[in-house]
Structure 1
Amino acid sequence: MQMQESKRGGWKAFPYIIGSEMGLSLASTGWGCNLTVYLITVFNIKSIRATQISSIVSGSSFLFPIAGAILADSFLGSFSVITIFSMISLLGMILITLTASVNFLHPPPCTNASLVALYTGIALASLGAGGTGITVATMGADQFQNNHDKNIFFNWYFVISYACIACSSTVVVYIQDKINWGLGFGVCVAANLTGFMVFLSGMRYYHHVKPKESPFASIARVVVAAIMKRNAARNNCYFYGSAELSRLNHGPTTDFSFLNNAALKLESNNQSSDLLIEKRSWKHCTVEEVEDLKTLLRIVPLWSSSILLSATIGVFISLILLEALTMDKHFGKNFEVPAASFLTFNILSTCVSLSILDRLVFPWWQKLTGDHPTPLQRIGVGHLINIIALVGSAIVENQRLQVVKKFHLDDQPGSEVPMSAFWLGINLTIIGISEALHYPGQVAFYYQEFPESLRNTATAMISLIVGIGFYSSAVVIGLVRRATDWLPDDINAGRADYVYGIMAGIGMLNFAYYLICAKSFNYCAAVKLNVHSVT
């Protein structure tokens, strides 16, 4: 007999949600983190072009979750979305595995069929990973009724996610690089299939939340209603959505006043406010919906400053992989670390920094100042540390190029530079510290400042920032290639240190822009937090 809905969810569903997250996360990061190396070493794609493709894939992996979240919240529900996109990602990874295993699809020589299979597999795997990412976390949280249990679930979710990323960037990458690419991608296929089967096996234990209207629909209604009533006479009579709010008679704020028309009552409206709003007409919005959109517009300047921050990180990751490919990666005499595994420095640094900040730095700051650091302060410090990492990267790359010139390797493409790749770990660690400050700071800031009806989109805003940032990094690299000779296909013959310097300069200008936005931003009146200096 089918289990009653009231008895579903809770900790009975936890093992299945976490088990599916382990498999799906291991699979998606297992093929994604080593994609640049695969494109260069197997498909003979030029190094800079490979980094641009990887940046676009990384950007998509952060943008697709937004589409998945909208589908889950508004149309299909979390269970259906996870099921559909798990199968899509499985199909994509099977195609990628075939390109590494089947002679017909495995270059050289590179054929149209192999490229079609590769790019189709990458597109499907990216789409599938994006559709399951945030949705698994949302469905897991939906299994619990109280915030304490939800917090415990999120702690486990992020621990498992980081552990899977670390495992993928070390064990799976090592199998791909040192044993066999087909076997390495096959591990990802097996992980995806296992995670999917674990998810399906817990079907009778899940509590299902019915799809509801997307908050983005409310935003769209305000814009449409404001345009449709743009010529209406201002009569200071607005829709409030309920008699109680109407009695308070607080009209809309004066900034972005053109949006106030969306909540304006027209003389032809003879029906009650409650009845009109209940119909969800595209002509009628409440003052609350208008003010919610205005809040988002006030946040946009601060939000935009994080796009360039993510773009500099995207350029940094792309170039540091190319540097690692040319350097001495031996740990001891007999063990060589795969190039993509050096990104583990960044992952471990972020995890350790989060723990140190929460347990030591922030309590010390509170004792010193009498208050916790605000989200804007954390984001600002993250900006500064990111600039330091870019300057440090320019210095390390300059030293690497001096070694290249010393041994006359700039005219010998593919030659290994006799300099340890572990020097790259210093700046990867610094970037990790930066991410431990600005990413959680952004989540806290958006959750704190978003209207209550839109708070579930706070994580989507972060995902959107990172996604656009990676796309922007691909554009930046393309522009540098067109305007200069700093990024040839052989990085030993280029000047990537100049690119890092340019990124550091952009980071400084962006930080100045951030300070202006932060100092002029007024916190939500309901929050009443400290709004003094952000530095």
Structure 2
Amino acid sequence: MEDEAPLLPTTESAVVGGVSDYRGRPVCRGSSGGWRSALFVVAVEIAGSFANFGVAANLITYLTGPLGYSNAAAAAAVNAWSGTASLMPLLGAFLADAYLGRYRSIILAGALYVLGYGLLTLSATLPRSSLGLFYVSLYLIALAQGADKPCGLAFAADQFDAEHPKERASRGSLFNWWYFCMATGISVAVSVVGYIQENVGWGVGFGVPCAVVSCAFVVFVLGTPTYRLPAPSAGGAHGHGHHSQSSPFVRLTRGIFPLPKGEDGDAEAKEEARAEAKCVLRLLPIWASSLAYGVVYAQIMTLFNKQGRTLDRRLLNMELPPAALQALGPLSILLFVPLYDRALVPALRRATGNPSGLSMLQRVGTGMATSLAAVSVAALVEGRRLATAREHGLVDDPGATVPMSWAWLVPQYAMLGLADLLAVVGLQELFYDQMPHGLRSLGLALYLSIMGIGGFISSLLISLIDTLTASTGDSWFTDNLNRAHLDYFYWLLAGLSAVELVLFFAFSRSYVYNSKNYLSKTLVSM
């Protein structure tokens, strides 16, 4: 310690290479970046998650209630919207990495959030507002997420210098605690906002998220003087899109589809483009084998919600709104993140020698296995709920409360929360760490598209199964859930999850980590 003390002031005042402040000036380590800057970004992302889940968690109730949709139509509409919101980051990543940069993309997202949630509040408040205004506001929010989601986490991670040992270690913890913070926002949203929507009014219930994102937007802007942005000459290295070289997407295209010999610049540039393309292409099998996870994830805000509405939701002297049950997943994340980061990771680190405890792919695979177990438990619980309805003669009474406690849903929500901590955080880190520096927004967009395409697959499956089963009797998703068969659908998802796990295992065993980004270059052994 005596040898290190004199170096501390020099270290803190050292200029950080490759980055600048918002005016293009060099920045010192002690006055920029790190947790201080990352927390400004975390604030706006917590608000975004709060607002998104404050609307999405109870959206199916709004559609089947005030808007008069059927269960199947409402679930398909919610899945289509959430799927679009999760796919829009692919467009947002392109704009961020090639043109706008992450900082300006988040600024754009903030403006779109305020506009989208403002119009949504207006649509629920005006007595004769059109359905068109409602959908315009929803898809403005989806567009905002496209600009925000691939950039928020990447911009927060950019505040840590990967070449500095202490900051690199902090960046590793960021991925765990990031999800902890998001879970905090989600927990409050589905509990408080859901209650306001059903007991005070939908206009107020949508207005609260609008107010929160507006305040968070101001907070993010206030952090501007502390942020590390790519230096004007280093855009290509840091992936914010402002540089004199060709954009990352142009280089990626040329790496995948090389031009004839003698064109497309020098040999070094061609080799770099091929290396970048290789990084992206070898992640695609992992991406494809993760889609079934996105299908299971889509049920949390739709069919799980409808299940909960039929159960006895009394807690002490109050009745819980169905959307509040969705807080069980985020609450489990709030419990598991500290245990995982502070207890399990150190133990696994000693056992495996891996600084992260589990490799990124091992973590994702463990999460997928947990998701498979969760949807199997959901099928068993739904089978029990249907049997209870039959025992009490409630099959033809869709409005009756089935004499079965909401606590039966705790295991499936908690297990999916744990699966999120493992699989979602693992996918976030994998698609950030293993992408070329200039394409990291694209990497996080690819991760988000897993949830988006999963939502679309879920929407397609529900619509197809609804049509097929309704032609021969009661649909699996009939509005009278006591005659429906959500348990059959959950077993179908369990089968898809099992196939996914086998494919993921096969692809992950042959994956070699990019040693420039990841500390080990070993074959994954799961």
What TM-score range do you get, normalising by the shorter chain? Answer: 0.7 to 0.9
Pairwise mapping of residues 433-448 of structure 1 onto structure 2 (< 5 A)?
Answer: 433-447=418-432
Pairwise mapping of residues 137-176 of structure 1 onto structure 2 (< 5 A)?
Answer: 137-142=153-158, 148=166, 151=171, 157-176=178-197
Higher relative contact order (CA 8 A, sep 6+): 2
Specify the code of the residue in structure 1 equivalent to 2:488.
Y
Give the distance between the partners of 1:368 and 1:4, measured in 2 at CA: 45
Offset of 1:48 from its aligned partner? 1.9
Whether 2:77 is the aligned partner of 1:49: answer no
Offset of 1:447 from its aligned partner? 4.5
Give the distance between the partners of 1:200 and 1:442, measured in 2 at CA: 29
Give the aligned partner of residue 233 of structure 1: none
Offset of 1:375 from its aligned partner? 2.5
Once the two structures are overlaid, the 10-residue window that deviates more, 403-412 or 182-191, is 403-412
Give the distance between the partners of 1:157 and 1:386, measured in 2 at CA: 21
Q: What are the ranges of 5 or more consecutive residues in structure 2 without an aligned counterpart?
A: 1-21, 233-240, 470-474
Alpha-carbon displacement from aligned partner over 1:125-175 (angstroms, at most 9, x marks no partner): 222233233434444455566754573876765444332212111112211
Instruction: Report the TM-score, using the length of structure 2 for normalisation.
Output: 0.81
Residue among 175, 184, 194 paired with 2:205? 184
Give the aligned partner of residue 374 of structure 2: 389
Partner-residue secondary structure (3-state), 2:258: helix
Give the aligned partner of residue 333 of structure 2: 350
Specify the code of the residue in structure 1 equivalent to 2:182.
S
- Structure-2 change in CA distance of 1:160 and 1:297 (3 Å): closer
Identity in percent: 28
Whether 2:494 is the aligned partner of 1:471: answer no
In the alignment, is the contact (CA less than 8 A) between 1:374 and 1:530 conserved in 2?
Answer: no
In the alignment, is the contact (CA less than 8 A) between 2:188 and 2:327 conserved in 1?
Answer: no
Partner-residue secondary structure (3-state), 2:68: coil
Specify the code of the residue in structure 1 equivalent to 2:454.
G
- Structure-2 change in CA distance of 1:336 and 1:204 (3 Å): same
In the alignment, is the contact (CA less than 8 A) between 2:332 and 2:414 conserved in 1?
Answer: yes
Residue among 218, 221, 226 paired with 1:197? 218
- Structure-2 change in CA distance of 1:82 and 1:44 (3 Å): same
Offset of 1:194 from its aligned partner? 1.8
Give the aligned partner of residue 251 of structure 1: none
Give the distance between the partners of 1:296 and 1:75, measured in 2 at CA: 20
Offset of 1:362 from its aligned partner? 3.8
Partner-residue secondary structure (3-state), 1:310: helix
- Structure-2 change in CA distance of 1:326 and 1:164 (3 Å): same
In the alignment, is the contact (CA less than 8 A) between 1:86 and 1:129 conserved in 2?
Answer: no
Give the aligned partner of residue 293 of structure 2: 309
Give the distance between the partners of 1:200 and 1:525, measured in 2 at CA: 36
Offset of 1:393 from its aligned partner? 0.8
Give the aligned partner of residue 225 of structure 1: 258
Give the distance between the partners of 1:477 and 1:181, measured in 2 at CA: 27
Alpha-carbon displacement from aligned partner over 1:395-427 (angstroms, at most 9, x marks no partner): 100010011212232222333222112211111
Give the distance between the partners of 1:142 and 1:376, measured in 2 at CA: 22
Residue among 256, 275, 294 paired with 1:291? 275
Alpha-carbon displacement from aligned partner over 1:332-362 (angstroms, at most 9, x marks no partner): 2x21111111111111222322332333334
Offset of 1:195 from its aligned partner? 2.1
Partner-residue secondary structure (3-state), 2:128: helix
Give the aligned partner of residue 91 of structure 1: 115
- Structure-2 change in CA distance of 1:91 and 1:451 (3 Å): closer
Give the aligned partner of residue 8 of structure 2: none
Alpha-carbon displacement from aligned partner over 1:58-96 (angstroms, at most 9, x marks no partner): 223322233333323321234433333322222221222
Once the two structures are overlaid, the 10-residue window that deviates more, 123-132 or 487-496, is 123-132
Give the distance between the partners of 1:506 and 1:219, measured in 2 at CA: 32
Specify the code of the residue in structure 2 equivalent to 1:135.
C
In the alignment, is the contact (CA less than 8 A) between 2:154 and 2:441 conserved in 1?
Answer: no
Offset of 1:498 from its aligned partner? 0.8
Specify the code of the residue in structure 2 equivalent to 1:53.
A
Q: What are the ranges of 5 or more consecutive residues in structure 1 without an aligned counterpart?
A: 106-112, 230-264, 279-283
Pairwise mapping of residues 329-368 of structure 1 onto structure 2 (< 5 A)?
Answer: 329-332=313-316, 334-368=317-351
Give the aligned partner of residue 238 of structure 1: none
Offset of 1:430 from its aligned partner? 1.0
Whether 2:415 is the aligned partner of 1:423: answer no
Partner-residue secondary structure (3-state), 1:315: coil
Instruction: Report the TM-score, using the length of structure 1 for normalisation.
Output: 0.79
